Amino acid sequence: MKRVVILGGGVGGTIVANLLARKVKDADLTLVDRTGKHVYQPGFLYVAFGHMKPERLVRDERTLLHRRVKLVLGEVARVDTRSKEVILKDGDAIPYHYLVIATGAEIVPDGIPGHEAAHQFYSMKGALRLREALSNFAGGRIVVAIGGVPYKCPPAPAEAACLLDYRFAKLGRREKVRIHYLSPLGRVFPIESFSPKVQELFERKGVKYTTFFNVERVDPIAKVVHSLEGESMPFDLLILVPPHRGVAFAKASGFADAGGWIPTDKHTLEVKGHERTIWALGDATDIPISKSGAAAHFEAKVVAKNVAAHLRGEIPTARYGGRVFCFFDAGFRRASALRFDYGHPPPPMAVSRRWYLGKVLMNRLYWTLIPTARV
């Protein structure tokens, strides 16, 4: 019986495992995950703002997996592509015929000197700490900055700026809070076609912004963030998106670039140099698309179809066209949406109550619809 090993129990890996279990009856399916806990990461922002409870973001991976998928808890040390084995840190070796890597990205807060003075919402711990800091914040300047590109969920920091405006307006303390957004690029939003929309929102909400501000270090005593470009910005509260990198084992296995991202064909999602044997999807790859579950969701379907075709001895034909669909929470219970692919940048969509309801529904129905691959 052919063995398929899937690394990573996030949205991408879970969908691939469940789809394969349904599509192919005679394959041996194993999913390896470090913790056995599946985390809905888009919820971190909402935990930080007190809109979601932490327990709503975490479920046991076992409860989300098809019964035919074996779950192994363990941390991957490396992949031996010659013997076709996944080597775990405890020394166990898991042989594979086909391998799917969906291990996401790691955050590296200590990549920025002085980061201890900053807050972030890219982990549960960070989100809870920020929630407390926001509750205690009496007034002053809140700076939202980005510690490095690429980072997960390109809209998230700009959404945070909009939600800060909403929060303090609702509390009747907006005039006591200055919000300043620092963008590493020459525009406020990474995706060029959508950037004017975000800029318009910022201007309407009184969110100040500076472009080409690449964070170099934070001075925790003076409470100033300094940029590589030679500028500095004082803050009373700093929200700093931590730098990201690919998972360590990819480098140890010899298939990662300098940033730790896995060179992957953007259409077939096969790992370059290991075609027909190893696929990668989601944040772990170097493909030119947003690092987000909204991309991994669509990528996972392509990978599952192509691995299933190999298992059946058929020619794989599914291709990922760069499809992403996600929401942009603009605060005041309104949102916009981004729908795009490799050939079509997202058109600026109106900010409306309808898209906000879409985002709320996604936050609620994620567990029922997405990891189970119902949609």
Partner 1 sequence: MIPQMVAARVVDARGSVCPGPLMALIGAVREQGVGDVIAIYSTDTGSRKDIPLWVNKAGHELVGAFDRGAYTEFVVRKKR
Question: Of 196, 185, 259, 191, whose CA–CA distance to 227 is shortest?
Answer: 185
Closest CB 106 distance from partner 1, rounded Å: 17
d(CA 153, CA 169): 25
- Please say whether the beta carbons of 279 and 270 come within 8 A: yes
Q: Under 8 Å CB-to-CB from 361, ≥6 apart: which residues?
A: none
Site string for partner 1, 146-175 (x = CB under 8 A): ---xx-------------------------
Residue type present at position 241: V
Query: Coil, strand, or helix at residue 344?
Result: strand
- Interacting residue with partner 1 among 91, 186, 313, 343 (CB under 8 A): 186
- Interacting residue with partner 1 among 214, 277, 352, 372 (CB under 8 A): 214
Closest CB 154 distance from partner 1, rounded Å: 10
Q: Which is nearer to partner 1, 7 or 188 (CB)?
A: 188
Closest CB 356 distance from partner 1, rounded Å: 28
Region of 124-132, 184-192, 305-313, 358-366 interacting with partner 1 (CB under 8 A): 184-192
d(CA 63, CA 36): 10
Q: Which of residues 22-81 bind partner 1 (CB under 8 A)?
A: none
343 binds partner 1 (CB under 8 A): no
Quickly list DSSP for 50-107: TSS-GGGGEEEHHHHS-TTEEEEE--EEEEETTTTEEEETTS-EEE-SEEEE---EEE
- Interacting residue with partner 1 among 132, 192, 200, 203 (CB under 8 A): 192
- Interacting residue with partner 1 among 124, 128, 185, 248 (CB under 8 A): 185
d(CA 83, CA 95): 8
Closest CB 185 distance from partner 1, rounded Å: 5
Closest CB 186 distance from partner 1, rounded Å: 5
Region of 26-34, 81-89, 113-121, 209-217 interacting with partner 1 (CB under 8 A): 209-217
d(CA 48, CA 303): 33
Region of 25-33, 74-82, 210-218, 361-369 interacting with partner 1 (CB under 8 A): 210-218
- Interacting residue with partner 1 among 91, 172, 230, 343 (CB under 8 A): 230
- Please say whether the beta carbons of 370 and 41 come within 8 A: no
d(CA 368, CA 186): 40
Query: Coil, strand, or helix at residue 215?
Result: strand
- Interacting residue with partner 1 among 51, 66, 70, 212 (CB under 8 A): 212
d(CA 306, CA 303): 5
Question: How many residues does the structure list for the chain?
Answer: 375
Closest CB 375 distance from partner 1, rounded Å: 28
Q: Which is nearer to partner 1, 85 or 216 (CB)?
A: 216
Instruction: Report which secondary-structure segment, H or E, holds 227.
Output: strand 224-227
346 binds partner 1 (CB under 8 A): no
Q: Which of residues 248-307 bind partner 1 (CB under 8 A)?
A: 288
228 binds partner 1 (CB under 8 A): yes
217 binds partner 1 (CB under 8 A): no
Q: Which is nearer to partner 1, 212 or 325 (CB)?
A: 212
- Please say whether the beta carbons of 175 and 212 come within 8 A: no
- Interacting residue with partner 1 among 110, 200, 229, 275 (CB under 8 A): 229
184 binds partner 1 (CB under 8 A): yes
Q: CA–CA distance from 248 to each of 17, 191, 259, 299 (Å)?
A: 23, 28, 10, 22
Strand bridging mode 85-88 / 224-227: unpaired
Q: How many residues make contact with partner 1 (CB under 8 A)? A: 14
Which residues contribute to the site for partner 1 (CB under 8 A)?
A: 149-150, 184-186, 190, 192, 212, 214, 216, 228-230, 288
